[in-house]
């Protein structure tokens, strides 16, 4: 039974450190309860125990946030670049100061290993804020020549924008949206994932401390079917950025079309291939391939879940991959000895085990793993299948778990065809010491990102996004600003002078 809502909740983190968080919605720089008194319970995936009961935003709350955002935009859109820059840099400094607390919330709420969040996700968020802060006074247009006059283009903010973020890397992905949106002069309403809302409350505290004007950044916790739906249908939200499942992404596009044709950008996951050629540095390839499918239990949109290994090194690779994968120590994500946390929820836990069972039934050879890890939490063993056929579901469907599908190939042409055989196209990795081959294969792969001799490599100045059913639009880099601005053309006619 869900307990009654209180004004604050106290959590215990690293070394017994206490974190006190408000439980309200962050609207117009205040923490307020939902107008309908709706609540949301969040659980610790490592134990199944309740962490907190917080407010859940209703349609009325979304509308209230939109009205405050509209009012704030009138002055915020006129703010000078250095003003926005200073605030974003201040927020980055505050996140850096409270990095331990934010990583603790990732561990408690998302089941992410504390060190992984502390040394990867949180620094990535800080880097993104500082990178985009540098763009705040550099968003310029072009001057153009036209007959009998002159013209120019200028990039302007869209206005009231919103983003719906996922549960797997909540702080990091939120900042991917927040940094360019605010840099461009928009106001932003953020909906946290219903499974990992607590980081958003902490972030709201830092937004307030940084000194952002009321209504510029607002953070709502709630259900996707209620809060998210209200945002996608709202007639006065002009842009919605979403990272999550393809099913929800399609529904958002439908709602955008039925409402006000709001601008939409989508990042919808992937089924990313890692291709290891005979001439690759084997130790390096194994290291990155294991990280690519076990980091945060494979609950990452760029997870390298399909491993294509050339025939000459296949057996050596499989043995080394198995050896390294089985070194994982499952346990409390806050403990230093733990290298593997739980998956996010009981539903996801059962879904992953279902995919594993389906692989066995379809005839894939189980190399190791495949079982539940005993205990109260949502733990699943690192798992790998070998000799997997392209037609099998684990080669086509996004599992979002620590499940690797390994198969061998002989020729470059063969592996390119196999790598491109899914409906997804988010990320991919190529391992080879042949520079020419790396260039050829990178060009041939149908993916928004290709890394060579490494996995993922998410940098604030390099665009990230997908093709095909992995979505459209870009996070990161200068190109991300296109998704948060509109292009206006101004033309001035030069009237003929009198003699």
pLDDT number for residue 6: 80
CB atoms within 10 A of CB 486: 15
The answer to whether the CB of 62 falls within 8 A of the CB of 25 is no
DSSP string over 138-171:
-----EEEETTEEEEEEEEE-SEEEEE--SSSHH
Q: How far is Cα 92 from Cα 210, in angstroms, rounded to an integer?
A: 9
Long-range contact pairs involving 437-443 (C-beta distance under 8 Å, separation at least 24): 437/277, 437/279, 437/412, 440/412, 441/275, 441/412, 441/415, 441/416
Beta bridge partners of 135: none
> Is domain 8-268 classified as CATH 3.40.605.10?
yes
- CA 328-329-335 angle, to 5 degrees, is 135
Residue-wise pLDDT for 84-97, tens only, equals: 999 999 999 999 99
The answer to whether the CB of 184 falls within 8 A of the CB of 159 is no
* 124: its two tokens: 């990535």
Provide the CATH number for the domain formed by 273-460 in this structure: 3.40.309.10
Q: How far is Cα 165 from Cα 193, in angstroms, rounded to an integer?
A: 6
* 247: its two tokens: 């099913």
Q: How far is Cα 89 from Cα 127, in angstroms, rounded to an integer?
A: 10
pLDDT number for residue 2: 45
Closest C-alpha among 424, 427, 435 to residue 469: 424
* 202: its two tokens: 């902490």
Residue-wise pLDDT for 374-405, tens only, equals: 777 899 999 999 999 999 999 999 999 999 99
H/E stretch holding 355 = helix 346-361
Residue-wise pLDDT for 404-457, tens only, equals: 999 999 999 999 999 999 999 999 999 999 999 999 999 999 999 999 999 999
pLDDT number for residue 215: 98
Instruction: Identify the sign of the CA torsion 293, 299, 302, 307.
Output: positive
pLDDT number for residue 13: 87
Of these residues, 267, 381, 398, 469, which one is catalytic?
267
Would residue 267 show up in a list of annotated catalytic residues for this protein?
Answer: yes
Q: How far is Cα 389 from Cα 363, in angstroms, rounded to an integer?
A: 9
Domain locations in the chain?
A: 8-268, 273-460
DSSP string over 48-75:
--EEEEEE---HHHHHHHHHHHHHHHHH
What stretches in the chain show pLDDT beneath 70? 1-4, 498-499
pLDDT number for residue 128: 98
pTM, to two decimals:
0.96
Q: Do domains 8-268 and 273-460 have the same CATH topology?
A: no
């Amino acid at each position: 039974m869900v307990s009654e809502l209180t004004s604050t909740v106290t959590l215990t983190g690293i070394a017994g450190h206490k974190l006190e968080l408000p439980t309200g919605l962050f609207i117009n720089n205040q923490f307020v309860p939902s107008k309908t008194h709706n609540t949301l319970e969040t659980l610790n995936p490592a134990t199944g125990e309740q962490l907190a009961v917080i407010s859940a935003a209703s349609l009325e709350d979304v509308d209230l946030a939109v009205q405050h955002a509209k009012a704030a935009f009138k002055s915020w859109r006129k703010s000078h670049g250095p003003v926005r820059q200073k605030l974003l840099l201040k927020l980055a400094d505050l996140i850096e100061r409270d990095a331990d607390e934010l990583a603790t919330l990732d561990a408690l709420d998302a089941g992410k290993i504390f060190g992984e969040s502390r040394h990867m996700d949180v620094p990535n968020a800080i880097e993104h804020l500082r990178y985009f802060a540098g763009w705040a006074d550099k968003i310029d247009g072009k001057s153009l020549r036209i007959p009998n006059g002159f013209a120019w283009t200028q990039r302007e903010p869209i206005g009231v924008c919103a983003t719906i973020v996922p549960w797997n890397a909540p702080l990091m992905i939120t900042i991917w949206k927040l940094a360019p949106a605010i840099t461009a002069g928009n106001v932003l309403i953020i909906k946290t994932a219903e499974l990992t809302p607590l980081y958003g409350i902490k972030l709201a505290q830092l937004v307030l401390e940084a000194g952002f004007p009321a209504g510029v950044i607002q953070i709502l916790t709630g259900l996707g079917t209620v809060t998210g739906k209200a945002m996608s249908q709202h007639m006065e939200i002009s842009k919605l950025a979403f990272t999550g499942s393809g099913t929800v992404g399609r529904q958002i596009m439908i709602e955008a079309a039925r409402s006000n044709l709001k601008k939409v950008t989508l990042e919808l996951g992937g089924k990313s291939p890692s291709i290891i050629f005979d001439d690759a540095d084997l130790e390096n390839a194994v290291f990155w391939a294991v990280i690519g499918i076990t980091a945060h239990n494979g609950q990452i949109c760029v997870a390298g879940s399909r491993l294509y290994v050339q025939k000459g090194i296949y057996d050596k690779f499989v043995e080394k991959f198995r050896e390294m994968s089985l070194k994982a120590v499952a346990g409390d994500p806050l403990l230093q000895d733990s290298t593997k946390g739980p998956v996010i929820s009981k539903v996801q836990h059962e879904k992953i085990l279902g995919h594993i069972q389906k692989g066995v039934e379809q005839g894939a050879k189980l190399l190791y793993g495949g079982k539940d890890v005993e205990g109260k939490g949502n733990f699943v063993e690192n798992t790998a299948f070998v000799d997997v056929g392209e037609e099998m579901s684990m080669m086509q469907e996004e599992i979002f778990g620590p499940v690797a599908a390994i198969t061998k190939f002989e020729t470059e042409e063969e592996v390119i065809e196999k790598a491109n055989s899914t409906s997804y196209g988010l990320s991919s990795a190529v391992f080879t010491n042949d520079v020419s081959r790396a260039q050829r294969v990178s060009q041939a792969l149908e993916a928004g990102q290709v890394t060579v001799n490494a996995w993922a490599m998410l940098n604030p100045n390099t665009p990230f996004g997908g093709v095909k059913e992995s979505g459209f639009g870009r996070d990161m880099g200068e190109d991300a600003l296109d998704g948060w601005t509109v292009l206006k053309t101004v033309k001035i006619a030069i009237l003929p002078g009198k003699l």
